[in-house]
Amino acid sequence: MKKFVSVLPAIAIMAFAAIAGAGVVVDEQQIIDQPNGNKVTRSRTVMIEGDKQKSIIDNGNRSVITDLGKGTMMMVDGAHKTYVEFPFPPKGGGMAAMQGGISPTISFKKTGGHDKIIGYSCDEYSGAGTVGGNSVSMSGCFSDSAPGATDYSNFQREMADKVKGTMMANMGQIPQGVPLRLTITTTLGNLPAAGMSPEQAGKLNQMLAHHQFVTNTTVSKISTKSLPADSFEVPSGYQKQQPPPMLGGMGAGAPMTRPAPQKVPE
């Protein structure tokens, strides 16, 4: 559980940067540098069509399905053939508890740099802020000419509208376009102490202080195509389970999805 809480901010923003629009399929390579010196390398595929998103990791063994129209998010475990459903955006006090009562804030600005990744031009941005009391810095190259970039941005706007007035709203300040490359550095600060004694919380925060998670994501392929409707459904025969007690009804979708960007100053 400690590990889950510590990586939550990085996962939250990382997933925020993986949203696309109708008929867009994005293949990504991720390298995660952990505080203990270990590196985790994995592939991820994100599929979006209309108001639905599916993020697939661990060779298809895990996926997250977000349906903005229904206002739901489902975490699917292919290995155990189970899934958990949450409301989206999260409801109740769970999100506030996870964030330590502090609204997340991320702001971006153009650096003036440019690059070309997998054949598509992109503009460099840098950003910084806080998520759950942790310091977060980000840098990325965003493209508005990659396939599906318009649909990508349309989905982002719909997501931003969906989370207005919630604890996730201020995490929507991500630049327009597809992030072809994104680096997120999370420096752990004081974690929420829900369910812990002051002594336990103090020891945990002391242990994790100044530890960093660095996630580097690069798009290896992006394409547009029509996706079957069942791409965004839980496979037949999977059993529905209750959310973990820590998350309750607030929705564990927070770690795996992100609201869309508002307009970023040039």
Residue, of 96 and 189, whose pLDDT is higher = 189
Contact by Cβ (8 Å): 217, 29: yes
pLDDT of 265 over the 80 cut: no
Residue 262 lies in a domain: no
Residue 263 lies in a domain: no
- CATH number, domain with residue 174: 2.50.20.10
In a domain, 266, yes or no: no
- What is the pLDDT at residue 173? 61
Question: Is 265 part of a structural domain of the chain?
Answer: no
Q: When comparing pLDDT for 70 and 35, which is higher? A: 70
Pairing of strands 82-87, 239-241: parallel
- pLDDT tens column, 215-233: 999 999 999 988 887 999 9
Q: Does 264 fall in a domain?
A: no
Q: Does residue 237 belong to any structural domain of this protein?
A: yes
- Report pLDDT for 42: 92
The confidence score (pLDDT) of residue 164 equals: 74
- By the 8 A CB rule, do 102 and 130 touch? yes
The whole domain housing 121 covers 2-255
pLDDT at 226: 86
User: Above 70 in pLDDT, residue 175?
Assistant: yes
Q: Is the pTM of this model over 0.85?
A: no
Flag whether 261 is in a domain. Answer: no
| Average pLDDT score over residue span 180-208 | 73
Residue 224 located in a structural domain: yes
- Total count of domains within the chain: 1
Confidence of residue 204 (pLDDT cuts 50, 70, 90): low
| Strand (E) or helix (H) holding 150 | helix 149-162
